[in-house]
Structure 1
Amino acid sequence: MEKSIQELIQDLNDDDEFVQEEAFGLLEIRSEESLEPLIEVLSTKGTTKNVKEFSARLLGVIGDEKAIDPLIATLRDNNKLVRREASTALSRMGDNAVEPLINILDDDDWRVRGAAAWALGKIGDKRAIEPLKNLLDDESGFVRTGAKFAVDSIENT
């Protein structure tokens, strides 16, 4: 009997890595059906770190632009690894994520600014150069480093 999307999402939290990998693969294969539930778990209170990490990663693999805003909201997550997966997923979204990422470069939260800078650097779109240069003097070392990486990466492509 085929597992439901919700059961597969719960399997992402299993202690057995093989169960996690199988669930990840099946959710990817069933991406059309799993998109909305994966987006939903990102903002659901009580969702475990593992499930959020895997969900963000899957949304990056799926690449549907509906996931951009929820992934941006996930950049505020308390867990560093969840934020990193959200940033990486956004970097996989390409052109569709450039403007939303540029728009959060002035966020009050240094973690959000830094994650946006790193994602923009991986995307490599020249529209981001000037907004990123504004972050080279940011109060946060994480943001400055991300902005420098991004500017160098974009200018050298």
Structure 2
Amino acid sequence: MGILELLLGLKPNIKRLEARGDVRGLTKALKYRRDASVRAEAARILGVLKDGRAVDPLIYALKDRDRSVRFKAAESLGKIGDAKAVEKLAEALTDKDWYVRLHAATALGDLQDKRAVVPLIQALKDEEKAVREWAAQALGDIGDSRAVDPLNAVLTDREVSVREIAAEALAKIKAKT
């Protein structure tokens, strides 16, 4: 995205930025206020590129007004794998939109950072089944023994799939310790 496009408020050419691997242009596209689909697609592509320069702009995008931008930012932060994102992804576990919370849990599982254990344990109590499932999965991926008792408690969840994933997570933790 060139200076002229930015100054004139022209819509970024996301396909061109992707083809060039233009991380700088894509991070600028994350700020294009006129079209959330542009911001969401920029966030998605930044995850594919896995460039550490995108971490701070993606963290900022976790607070975007549009849910698709927020969940794509969370997803991409997990793909990039920079531990700098853990705290803000943990905050995203309380987002008003369950789909954002789900992607934050998934990203934290990808990062496998022990700082995420306590927020993920809290997410085991989420109202949405999918968030509870992915929080349990993430805790199993991290493999921290602090999750054992909370995961044992989830074995009585009203949803069979949540119970099954919690059991798998417990087995993963046991194998790691």
Q: TM (normalized to structure 1)?
A: 0.68
Q: What amino acid sits opposite 2:141 in the alignment?
A: K
Could you say which residue in structure 1 is the equivalent of 2:27? Answer: 5
Seen in structure 2, the aligned counterparts of structure 1 residues 13 and 110 have a Cα distance that, compared at 3 Å, is: closer
CA contact (8 A) 1:137 1:144 kept: yes
1:67 corresponds in structure 2 to 85
Per-residue CA distance 1:121-151 (angstroms, 9 max, x = gap)? 1222222112210110012334322211211
What percent of counterpart residues are identical?
Answer: 35
Q: Considering only CA atoms, is the larger Rg found in Structure 1 or Structure 2?
A: 2
> Distance in 1 between the 2:128 and 2:47 partners?
31
Alpha-carbon distance change, 59 to 24 in structure 1, aligned in 2, over 3 angstroms: closer
Kindly indicate whether the alpha-carbon contact (under 8 Å) linking 1:114 and 1:143 is maintained by their aligned counterparts in 2: yes
Q: How does 1:19-98 map to 2 (within 5 A)?
A: 21=45, 23-26=46-49, 28-29=50-51, 31-32=52-53, 34-47=54-67, 49=68, 51-75=69-93, 76=95, 78=97, 80=99, 82-94=100-112, 95-98=114-117
Instruction: Give the direction of change, closer, same or farther, for the CA distance of 1:83–1:145 in structure 2 (3 Å limit).
Output: farther
- C-alpha change, 1:101 and 1:84, in structure 2 (3 Å) is closer
Contact 2:143 2:172 survives alignment (8 Å): yes
Superposed CA RMSD: 3.1
8 Å contact from structure 2 (residues 105, 138) kept in 1 = yes
8 Å Cα contact 1:60/1:88 also seen in 2? yes
Residue aligned with 1:156, SS: helix
Structure 2: which 5+ runs fail to align? 3-23, 32-37
Change (3 A) 1:133 1:89: same
Write the distance in 2 (CA, Å) between the matches of 1:84 and 1:128. 18
What TM-score results when the alignment is normalised by the length of structure 2? 0.62
Paired residue total: 144
Match of 1:102 in 2: 121
Structure 1 unaligned segments of length 5 or more: list them. Answer: 15-19
1:64, CA displacement in angstroms?
Answer: 3.9
Which structure's relative contact order is higher, taking Cα pairs within 8 Å and 6+ residues apart? 1
- The one-letter amino acid of 1:122's match is D
